[in-house]
């Protein structure tokens, strides 16, 4: 693990295995951190928090730019680690790692440009606010996009003067450790960035509950998010949560069907469906549904599921045996609730020990079916037909989730009207989700609180301090004391 600028084992000496999801074979043993390790990392971060807060923003920005360059110089190694440990196929892993410098550069640019405001108040007074860092921030990272989500949360935290303790997912710890090596090489002071590996129930829970952690960022399941909120709430930490989703992808009768089919495939098959914004509810207008499904089946037939390091692969394995079993269970549930149109069988031609599930499409799905309401987190989509826009919106909003939606529609008036009525954090029209550092991302309802990315993320990593100055020579000159002094 990486604590206070040093590479250290867990204090107990315990380790746990991390596996290659395409074969099920062990790659390496990783330190199994617990509360003692978390405490050491948090204390290291707390010891340098004030020094880092008052480091010039320009200097913090320069270090982030150094880190961006080092990530760019190490794309191939980072991508191979990500592909091996998480199951991203290599070409996709290379794309994702190549994008990470965008986040680091964006927040380097913002470091010396965000600030407070002046406030017009009665009398001869000066009133203004300062934006100050929270202090020690905890970053609990999911396994689906391990390095990208790590970077998107630590970049604003560091730029705005916080120190960081990262707990990567136990299934995908390796890229975070390589990233720590690059942070050190970039010149960040010891203690500003720390990585503690371990299980969520041990290291993750201890980090969320630590009283010196002033801010917590978590991306993952709603169930775990609730527990993190509870633990952080015990010491009133500021909490950002990006949680589950059951995102609708709506195809209108005037849509370009070929484009919409491609978006639908990306929507539920990208990262083997292990995406919070996955388009796992597919709403097809009655007028185009049959034609669309014919095109969808033809497109899915060209998908290649297999070894992440095979250049022909377009979809890798699920991340773990646990996730494989979960998705297969939902497929069996779907067979009882709806009609299986495509997939649902074992994938041929892959390693028997790997966690592979092919694209799976269900039609004739009742809106109250489990596969239509629960997050599966695999390459499975539930198709529902619609004709009335009002009923469509009512069905979409009748969900505990509210993260993301896609509308495919040429009539921009209809699209905008629908977008405004959806209870979600983001809506894309005639496009598919491409995460960017300058646009806010987050959910409503059980899909989370707060926003990652964009200038809206500033509020997740800062606190506001108000300062007021009476510019008159004597306080008695003030006329607005509301009866004071006592």
Known catalytic residues are 242
Residue pair 174/17 in contact by the 8 Å Cβ criterion: no
Taking Cα atoms as reference points, which of 180, 170, 176, 229 lies closest to residue 201?
170
Beta bridge partners of 464: 131
Distance between CA atoms of residues 174 and 185, nearest Å: 17
- Taking CA atoms, 291 is separated from 17, 80, 192, 255, in Å, by 47, 39, 55, 12
Q: Are strands 125-133 and 462-470 parallel, antiparallel or unpaired?
A: antiparallel
**Residue 157 phi, psi dihedral angles, 5° rounding:** -60, -50
* Residue 139 CB-density burial (10 A; 0-12 exposed, 13-18 middle, 19+ buried): buried
Angstrom distance (rounded) from CA 234 to CA 17 = 32
Report d(CA 420, CA 415) in Å as an integer.
9
Report residue 24: phi and psi, to 5°: 80, 5
């Amino acid at each position: 693990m990486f604590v206070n600028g040093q590479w250290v084992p867990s204090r107990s000496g315990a380790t746990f295995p991390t596996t290659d999801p395409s074969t099920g074979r062990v790659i390496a043993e990783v330190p199994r951190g617990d509360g003692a390790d978390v405490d050491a990392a948090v204390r290291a971060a707390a010891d340098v928090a004030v020094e880092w807060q008052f480091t010039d923003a320009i200097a913090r920005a320069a270090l982030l730019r150094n880190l961006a360059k080092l990530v760019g110089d190490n794309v191939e190694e980072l991508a191979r680690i990500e592909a091996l440990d998480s199951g991203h196929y290599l070409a996709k892993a290379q794309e994702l790692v190549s994008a990470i410098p965008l986040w680091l550069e964006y927040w380097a640019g913002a470091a010396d440009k965000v600030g407070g405001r002046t406030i017009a108040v009665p009398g001869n007074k000066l009133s203004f606010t300062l934006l100050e860092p929270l202090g020690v921030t905890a970053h609990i990272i999911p396994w689906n996009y391990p390095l990208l989500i790590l970077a998107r949360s630590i970049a604003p935290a560091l730029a705005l003067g916080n120190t960081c303790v990262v707990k990567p997912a136990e299934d995908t710890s390796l890229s975070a450790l390589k990233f720590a090596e690059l942070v050190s090489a970039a010149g960040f002071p010891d203690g500003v960035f720390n990585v503690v590996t371990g299980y969520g129930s041990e290291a993750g829970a201890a980090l969320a509950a630590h009283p010196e952690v002033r801010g917590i960022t978590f991306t993952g399941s709603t169930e775990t998010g609730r527990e993190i909120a509870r633990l952080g709430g015990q010491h009133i930490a500021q909490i950002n949560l990006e949680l589950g989703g059951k995102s609708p992808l709506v195809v209108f009768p005037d849509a370009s069907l070929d484009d919409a089919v491609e978006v639908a495939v990306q929507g539920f098959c990208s990262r083997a469906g292990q995406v919070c914004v996955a388009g796992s509810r597919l709403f097809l207008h009655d007028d185009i549904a049959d034609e669309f499904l014919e095109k969808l089946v033809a497109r899915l037939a060209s998908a290649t599921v297999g070894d992440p390091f095979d250049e022909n692969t377009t979809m890798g394995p699920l991340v773990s045996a646990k996730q494989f079993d979960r998705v297969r269970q939902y497929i069996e549930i779907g067979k009882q609730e709806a009609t299986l149109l495509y997939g649902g069988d074992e994938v041929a031609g892959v390693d028997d020990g790997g966690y592979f599930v092919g694209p799976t499409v269900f039609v004739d799905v009742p809106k109250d079916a489990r596969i239509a309401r629960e997050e599966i987190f695999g390459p499975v989509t539930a198709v529902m037909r619609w004709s009335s826009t009002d009923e469509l919106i009512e069905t979409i909003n009748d969900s505990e989730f509210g993260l993301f939606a896609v509308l495919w529609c040429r009539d921009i008036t209809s699209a905008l009207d629908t977008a405004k009525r959806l209870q979600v954090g983001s809506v894309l029209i005639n496009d598919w989700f491409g995460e960017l550092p300058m646009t806010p991302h987050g959910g409503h309802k059980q899909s989370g609180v707060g926003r990652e990315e964009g200038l809206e993320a500033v509020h997740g990593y800062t606190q506001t301090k108000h300062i007021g100055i009476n510019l008159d020579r004597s306080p008695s000159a003030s006329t607005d004391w509301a009866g004071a002094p006592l």
